[in-house]
Structure 1
Amino acid sequence: MQIDYQRELAEFEWDIPEGYNLPAVIESHAAAFGDRLAVQFRDDDGNEARRRFADLRDDMNRFANALESLGVGEGDRVMHLLPRHPDVFAIQLGALKRGAILVPCSAMLKPKDVQFRANDCEATTIVCHDELTDMVEAVADETPLDTMVVLGGSRMGEWESFGALIDGESTEHDGPDIGPQSPMSINYTSGTTGQPKPVLHRHRWMHCFERVNGRYWWGVEEGMDFEDELLWATTGTGWAKWFWSPVGVALTTGAPQFIYRGDFDPETFLSLLESEGVTRLCAVPTQYRMFTQVDDMADYDLSLKQTLSAGEPLNREPIQAFEEAFDVTPRDGYGQTETVALVTNYPGIDVKPGSMGKPTPGLGTTIIDTVDEEEVERGEIGEVAVPVDSPAIFDGYFEKPELDERTFSGAYYRTGDLASEDEDGYFFFEGRADDIIISSGYRIGPFEVEDALVGHPAVAEAAAVDSPHDDRGNVVKAYVILAEGYDGNDELVEELQEYMKEETAPYKYPRRIEFVDELPKTSSGKIRRIELRDREMSKFGD
């Protein structure tokens, strides 16, 4: 698929079907191509499973009937705490068929996080894998949860068995009427300050993914020939990214997808890409970087047609390595829990390393001043923003009117992410709005510093923040995790600083460098620069 970007910018129109909802999409797929592979599953013990689209429909309806018998209905919040598993889609779709609202949770959370989410959205039901039930049982009595379903285990205590519940249930279900404006999910943002916020999405979100993420990022759309295609997004079920790709692209377009349950290991994942015949991959930058550290990476015989990167900007080194090894260019994309893909390197674009790409058609994504609602000039740093009336962003925070008022009071939804646009219309990520470094009047995006630093062989990972300085107001401070075999000392500090002066504008080099063993991160793996800034204030602030 090749995109005529300017034409599609000019001609794009939203056309969300009146009765659109995700379970209805699956019913339609099952009727049209029920025998088509929907999910190919493997785990690290060698177990395999396959689900056709007809299987997804049947198990969706079986679970919806089971939930109805348990008293779960329209508007109820259904949490799930699940690993990658072949039955995850049936669980999610079954809850949606009942008109319930999904509340995904990551296995990386702690019991107190589960407790917070359950209480915050008043969830009464949870579906949990049998290996994770301890997380729920530790706090269940302190929450509204009264219906608990276990996947992968038998009935025990308060837990109903998923397998037993769906056994013998009808493969048809007459649920409540739901449409594009019906609530679908509450995805909690990780945030950099305060408690996570409950982002509410409606069923139309899935249609927007199909129209935007599918076509302008993955290069797939409903009706194309999927006979020799297999998509793989390496995300987990608890993240918004699960809805971005495994649900929002693969399920909506009818594309076959691969799901693997197992810890990331670059050699294992490369072997799976080869043996499964994956044609389109979406991974995170850390995984791409680790792929390129495999000495014989180019020896793997891969079938990749498209490679995507998400979560944070992708450095130039892994892009070049994949191009050389597999003749495919990883294409970055940008969006949030609150949105679809706002900016992508679409199929056929001339990728500029370090760039998020160009704004996707239909959204009106732009860059505005961090104070006023005026678009900034090209080359200037501003805040990525989307018109508040776009159907491709969230509707608000679940039962948080004070947050809604603050977020939607203007003409734009402000993402809180800073970017600049070059002369060709490419967007470049510059950091979070509260992460920008101002030193001697210069505005410095932390990512450019971090991106250059990790290009040095001694640097495995880096985070840049502002550090108070008497003369300059602030200077750039870099926290650095060293690669194996390197020792942090004054000589290396000087070497890195001289290297940075060659790689970036001189005013951007880190005047202070501290070697650390780890960086503070959110549960979704994003660096909490606010903690690092607080450290600097305690050291050098007044």
Structure 2
Amino acid sequence: MQPTVLDQYASLYREFRWHVPDSFNIAQACCTRWANDPSRASDIAIHYESESGQTATLSYAELQAEANRLSNVLRRLGVQCGDRVALILPQRPEVAIALMACFQIGAIAMPLSILFGPDALEYRLQNSESVIAIVEQSCQPSIDAIRAQCPALQQIVLVDDAFAHTAPADTGGGANTSNDSDTSDNIDTPPLLHWHSAMAQASSSFAAVDTAASDPAILIYTSGTTGAPKGALLPQAALIGNLTGFVASQNWFPQEHDVFWSPADWAWTGGLMDALLPALYFGKPIVGYRGRFSAETAFQLLEKYAVTNTFLFPTALKIMMKTVAAPRDQYDLKLRAIMSAGEAVGDAVFNWCQSALGVTVNEMFGQTEMNYIVGNSAGQWPAKPGSMGRPYPGHRVAVIDDDGAIVAPGVTGEVALNRLDIQGDPDPIFFLGYWKNPQATSAKYTGDWCRTGDLASMDDDGYLWYQGRADDMFKAAGYRIGPSEIENCLVKHPAVANAAVVPKPDRERGNLVKAFVVLTAGVQGDAQLIKELQAHVRGKLAPYEYPKEIEFIDALPMTTTGKLQRRVLRLLEQERAQSES
């Protein structure tokens, strides 16, 4: 049973005001101010663990000293304000070090997933005209294969597989307190520069540049589900814009003993803006894990580091729910807040989080261009299972039609965010635009409304109900079908680990509802199970929603951020239909 929650939403939303300074730098806010505070400098910024068993910790003072060294290395390599620096690294301390180094020299950090193949890397490096790439050793073959096609790329900084602190050099404490930036000529600059050798020669003092809140800081490429990937350019102030949602979705973060962990890749908005940077902004420790996700590993990390706050994709929660039904019987957990985003959680997972973990999951909605705009906050306003939540304070969100008019409650339309909040002040969460693509930037807006491409309806209480991506909706036998509800229903069956619903082309009905199903361990898929699953859905949803066809599959296609790629399965069905015609 959901606990009774006093609804404080109206006053929180109505009374909130943005206070964005003219000058703002993410590195100063997330690291330097803590490193320069004697009472906080030794606080842990990052706990690190790898799948191979390596562990390490990095204090805020140590993070600052390492960032200063790398800033000096990048300056010696000729990096200037506004230059793009690619970070092709997994979840490891060097990501935080490189981000802080880029921000405090005014460069634009471009995080990239280590799962990208040569073609994906080549497009992004070419399009961004990145001048430096900081690359984990495991990714070197992909970079070697494309480097000749990336003429702007001047230098590769290679990071060894194992993390190691740079030996203390010349400052004692590592805080950014000196104007004695390293201008020596003793850093070797061959085409391939090794991180540790370069850092060992660099000073740990650096004078950071002053940046405006509106200056560019981060370039993140969207997944490219429609057309080529687009680079969303985020300003320094975008972090400020994320904070109301982060604080609320993490049940009023920070509190005294808060520790954060998320498997979300720090190369993506979810891991970067929903985990790493806000945790550091509030001076709290975050756990970085270099390894594959599994339910067992997730619970072990939560227990070992006494994690209180987390961001877990619905897919991850489903895996954990199916693998360990009663986790508190096996693990000593300190969790007090779970945020989830990327797909609808569904009431099966929602109820499991409450009963098995003792935490009401806070769903959140956002995207790279304007992140953390809608969600819940258990304890501040009641969650409605299956709802995306309400607009977070500081964000004016509405459901609009094709012409940009706000639709009536209960009517499906496109979720959009206004440039101005309800006070008439500019919302700092917005991206600056798509990199070298003004046409796409312009197309993103209808007047002052920035469109998300996601469909939802809003009820009379201001809660949004996700209906899917505009291109995920389809019609079957004249009925409009949203896949999320059917998928959630299938997952409630004990035989189903995960499911994806797409249209199957049909000459008579236009489309049939088809489900791709991943079975739980030890379950065999057969004709009898198909009938059982169809009856399961038919008994809980509308008759036209049950899957007329079910195909068992070993794994669903997912993006590197853990989002389901229904488009891949939809195209597969289209190709099959064409081959049969």
Q: Shorter-chain TM-score: which interval?
A: over 0.9
How far, CA to CA, are the matches of 2:264 and 2:556 in structure 1?
21
**Deviation of residue 538 (structure 1)?**
4.4
How far, CA to CA, are the matches of 1:250 and 1:517 in structure 2?
36
Partner of 2:249: 217
With 120-129 and 438-447 compared, the bigger mean Cα shift is at 438-447
Alignment of 1:345-384 (within 5 A): 345-348=376-379, 349-369=381-401, 371-384=402-415
How far, CA to CA, are the matches of 1:281 and 1:225 in structure 2?
14
**Deviation of residue 534 (structure 1)?**
3.2
What is the CA RMSD across the aligned residues, in angstroms? 2.4
Of 318, 321, 333, the residue aligned with 1:289 is 318
Identical positions, percent: 34
Structure 2 unaligned blocks of 5 or more: 163-187, 421-426
**Deviation of residue 471 (structure 1)?**
4.5
Greater relative contact order (Cα < 8 A, sep 6+): 2
How far, CA to CA, are the matches of 1:4 and 1:24 in structure 2?
33
Pairing 1:29–2:34 present: yes
When the two structures are aligned, how many residues end up with a matched partner?
A: 537
Given that 1:342 and 1:360 are in contact with CA atoms closer than 8 Å, whether structure 2 keeps it comes out as yes
Partner of 2:46: 39
The two structures have a TM-score, normalised by structure 1, of: 0.93
**Deviation of residue 157 (structure 1)?**
6.3
How far, CA to CA, are the matches of 1:156 and 1:131 in structure 2?
21
Pairing 1:166–2:223 present: no
Pairing 1:320–2:351 present: yes
Which one-letter code corresponds to 1:31 in the other structure? N
Partner of 1:193: 226
Given that 2:147 and 2:153 are in contact with CA atoms closer than 8 Å, whether structure 1 keeps it comes out as yes
SS across alignment from 1:435 = coil
Which one-letter code corresponds to 1:439 in the other structure? A
Alignment of 1:423-462 (within 5 A): 423-462=460-499
Pairing 1:18–2:22 present: yes
Of 6, 9, 27, the residue aligned with 1:5 is 9
**Deviation of residue 225 (structure 1)?**
4.7
How far, CA to CA, are the matches of 1:517 and 1:277 in structure 2?
33
How far, CA to CA, are the matches of 2:458 and 2:430 in structure 1?
22
Partner of 1:176: 209
Cα offsets for 1:271-322 (capped at 9, x unmatched): 2211211111211222222222225522211111112222222132333233
**Deviation of residue 250 (structure 1)?**
0.6
**Deviation of residue 409 (structure 1)?**
4.8
How far, CA to CA, are the matches of 1:275 and 1:536 in structure 2?
44
Given that 1:419 and 1:427 are in contact with CA atoms closer than 8 Å, whether structure 2 keeps it comes out as yes
Partner of 1:115: 122
Which one-letter code corresponds to 1:29 in the other structure? W
Of 63, 67, 75, the residue aligned with 1:60 is 67
Which one-letter code corresponds to 1:82 in the other structure? L
CA 469–87 in structure 1, closer or farther in 2 if over 3 Å, else same: closer
Which one-letter code corresponds to 1:127 in the other structure? I
CA 122–499 in structure 1, closer or farther in 2 if over 3 Å, else same: same
**Deviation of residue 77 (structure 1)?**
0.7
**Deviation of residue 117 (structure 1)?**
0.6
Pairing 1:145–2:153 present: yes
How far, CA to CA, are the matches of 1:121 and 1:136 in structure 2?
15
How far, CA to CA, are the matches of 2:46 and 2:577 in structure 1?
54
Given that 1:367 and 1:375 are in contact with CA atoms closer than 8 Å, whether structure 2 keeps it comes out as yes
Partner of 2:180: none
Alignment of 1:531-542 (within 5 A): 531-540=568-577
Which one-letter code corresponds to 2:531 in the other structure? E
The two structures have a TM-score, normalised by structure 2, of: 0.87
CA 476–72 in structure 1, closer or farther in 2 if over 3 Å, else same: same
CA 535–290 in structure 1, closer or farther in 2 if over 3 Å, else same: closer
SS across alignment from 1:527 = coil
How far, CA to CA, are the matches of 1:18 and 1:3 in structure 2?
34
**Deviation of residue 124 (structure 1)?**
1.2
CA 9–454 in structure 1, closer or farther in 2 if over 3 Å, else same: same
Given that 1:153 and 1:161 are in contact with CA atoms closer than 8 Å, whether structure 2 keeps it comes out as no
Partner of 1:74: 81
Partner of 1:265: 294
Which one-letter code corresponds to 2:154 in the other structure? D
Of 525, 548, 573, the residue aligned with 1:511 is 548
CA 520–291 in structure 1, closer or farther in 2 if over 3 Å, else same: closer
Pairing 1:248–2:285 present: no
How far, CA to CA, are the matches of 1:296 and 1:530 in structure 2?
34
With 40-49 and 86-95 compared, the bigger mean Cα shift is at 40-49
Which one-letter code corresponds to 1:358 in the other structure? R
Which one-letter code corresponds to 1:454 in the other structure? V
How far, CA to CA, are the matches of 2:441 and 2:297 in structure 1?
44
Given that 1:233 and 1:245 are in contact with CA atoms closer than 8 Å, whether structure 2 keeps it comes out as no
Which one-letter code corresponds to 1:34 in the other structure? A
How far, CA to CA, are the matches of 2:49 and 2:531 in structure 1?
48
CA 290–89 in structure 1, closer or farther in 2 if over 3 Å, else same: same
How far, CA to CA, are the matches of 1:530 and 1:276 in structure 2?
38
With 483-492 and 403-412 compared, the bigger mean Cα shift is at 483-492
Partner of 1:298: 328
SS across alignment from 1:133 = helix
Partner of 1:48: 55
CA 235–182 in structure 1, closer or farther in 2 if over 3 Å, else same: same
With 201-210 and 151-160 compared, the bigger mean Cα shift is at 151-160
Given that 1:214 and 1:253 are in contact with CA atoms closer than 8 Å, whether structure 2 keeps it comes out as no
Pairing 1:87–2:94 present: yes
Cα offsets for 1:219-246 (capped at 9, x unmatched): 345xx553x2211122122211122233
Given that 1:84 and 1:237 are in contact with CA atoms closer than 8 Å, whether structure 2 keeps it comes out as yes
Given that 1:79 and 1:105 are in contact with CA atoms closer than 8 Å, whether structure 2 keeps it comes out as yes
How far, CA to CA, are the matches of 2:291 and 2:7 in structure 1?
35
Given that 2:118 and 2:143 are in contact with CA atoms closer than 8 Å, whether structure 1 keeps it comes out as yes
CA 267–526 in structure 1, closer or farther in 2 if over 3 Å, else same: closer
Which one-letter code corresponds to 2:28 in the other structure? A
Partner of 2:132: 125
CA 489–296 in structure 1, closer or farther in 2 if over 3 Å, else same: closer
Given that 1:431 and 1:446 are in contact with CA atoms closer than 8 Å, whether structure 2 keeps it comes out as yes
How far, CA to CA, are the matches of 1:297 and 1:473 in structure 2?
45
Cα offsets for 1:78-135 (capped at 9, x unmatched): 0011122123211111012111111111011101111111101111100011222222
How far, CA to CA, are the matches of 1:42 and 1:530 in structure 2?
35
CA 219–439 in structure 1, closer or farther in 2 if over 3 Å, else same: same
With 5-14 and 30-39 compared, the bigger mean Cα shift is at 30-39
Given that 1:207 and 1:252 are in contact with CA atoms closer than 8 Å, whether structure 2 keeps it comes out as no
CA 236–523 in structure 1, closer or farther in 2 if over 3 Å, else same: closer
How far, CA to CA, are the matches of 1:314 and 1:505 in structure 2?
20
CA 436–330 in structure 1, closer or farther in 2 if over 3 Å, else same: same
CA 273–535 in structure 1, closer or farther in 2 if over 3 Å, else same: closer
